[in-house]
């Protein structure tokens, strides 16, 4: 029971999005769409109970919210969609926002999290995007004197054009927010931009009121392969070797990747020097770190600090912790 230790860490699982009915039908038959197909998950990294792997957080109450919708727990469609699949009818629910509300109700009223004196909301990838959009609400649901901070792992998805010159991820987010009827986004953003754009963290930073820490690769492997050079705009697979191993990139390709890094850093620039915003930006080719022990508290470092050390210093110390790695290939600790 959460009453035993008054420190709670809620982590939201990632797993992409579905932007069409057909994609969501497929997703509904997987562990990313239904608890019927889920297997147990080992708690590692920031969820580990080992004082060696996860000092400072190993004895917290840890909750892992399995990803069971396709819109970062933001969908809000009243009625299920009845579809036909493989000769059978099935119901698709686009109610991620309501799943979030139900999980929080369970944790707060039945599991005792309302008694927490400290609380962290984190998430990786699409789960990190969920943590971003629910961070303020997470704080509001807890007691006013609870210390609340949020951690986003590999969730700074950028509104950037692919090598074709078109922002495919913006089109994806517009479809996701429409299909799932995402209505909980910041009004500060939606009063000026469409919902698809407001799904991006970069357009919502000024709406965040809770201290937030970013774990991020400046050469995010998922974004390089799905935003910058996805197969649909690279039919000859000229980029496939580059986006799986940076040492294989040609000079022009590396130029594109450095532009991605610079765009990422530009979005972080307004946050520099402010203790509310922590960051640990590595120049290694990977996507997320928090749930992998070898990345959370292993060999990889920035400014001689692991991700755990940087987050701990920021969370417990309260000062400015903003580690930004030099450009590839300078970090010899990348593995």
Structure tokens at 317: 């110390």
Residue of 180, 199, 184, 185 whose CA lies nearest to 75 = 180
Helix (H, G, I), strand (E, B) or coil at 170: helix
Q: What is the DSSP letter of 109?
A: I
Paired with 88 in beta bridges are 85
Residue 306 and residue 299: Cα distance in Å, rounded?
7
Residue 261 is encoded by which pair of tokens?
């890094």
DSSP assignment of 210-275: S-EEEEEETT-HHHIIIIIS-GGG-TT-TTTTTTT-GGG--HHHHHHHHHHHHHHHHHHGGGTT-T
* Contacts (Cβ under 8 Å, ≥6 apart) of 311: 46, 151, 213, 215, 278, 280, 321
Tell me the two tokens of residue 153: 């792992």
Active site positions, annotated: 125, 220, 287
Residues 301, 162: Cα–Cα separation, whole Å: 29
The radius of gyration of the chain's CA atoms, rounded to the nearest angstrom, is 20
């Amino acid at each position: 029971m959460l009453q035993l230790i008054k420190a709670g860490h809620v982590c939201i699982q990632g797993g992409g999005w579905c932007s069409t009915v057909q994609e969501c039908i497929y997703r509904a038959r997987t562990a990313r769409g239904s608890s019927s197909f889920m297997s147990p998950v080992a708690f590692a990294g920031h969820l580990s109970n080992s004082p060696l792997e996860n000092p400072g957080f190993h004895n917290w109450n840890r909750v892992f919210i399995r990803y069971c919708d396709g819109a970062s727990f933001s969908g809000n469609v009243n009625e299920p969609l009845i579809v036909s699949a493989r000769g059978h009818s099935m119901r698709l629910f686009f109610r991620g926002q309501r799943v979030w509300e139900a999980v929080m109700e369970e944790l707060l009223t039945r599991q005792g999290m309302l008694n927490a004196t400290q609380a962290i909301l984190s998430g990786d990838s699409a789960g990190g995007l969920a943590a971003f959009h629910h961070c303020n609400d997470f704080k509001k649901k807890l007691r006013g004197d609870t210390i609340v901070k949020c951690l986003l792992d590999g969730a700074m998805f950028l509104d950037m054009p692919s090598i074709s010159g078109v922002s495919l991820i913006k089109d994806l987010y517009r479809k996701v927010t429409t299909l799932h009827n995402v209505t909980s986004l910041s009004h500060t953003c939606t009063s000026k931009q469409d919902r698809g754009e407001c799904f991006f963290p970069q357009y919502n930073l000024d709406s965040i009121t809770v201290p937030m820490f970013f774990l991020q690769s400046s050469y995010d492997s998922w974004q390089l392969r799905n935003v910058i050079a996805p197969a649909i705009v690279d039919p000859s697979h000229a980029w496939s070797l580059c986006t799986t191993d940076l040492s294989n990139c040609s000079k022009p390709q590396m130029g594109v990747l450095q532009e991605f890094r610079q765009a990422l850093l530009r979005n972080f620039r307004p946050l520099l020097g402010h203790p509310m915003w922590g960051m640990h930006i590595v120049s290694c080719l990977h996507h997320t770190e928090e749930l992998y022990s070898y990345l959370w508290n292993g060999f990889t470092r920035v400014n001689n600090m692991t991700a755990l050390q940087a987050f701990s210093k920021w969370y417990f110390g309260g000062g400015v912790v903003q580690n930004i790695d030099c450009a590839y290939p300078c970090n010899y600790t990348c593995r």
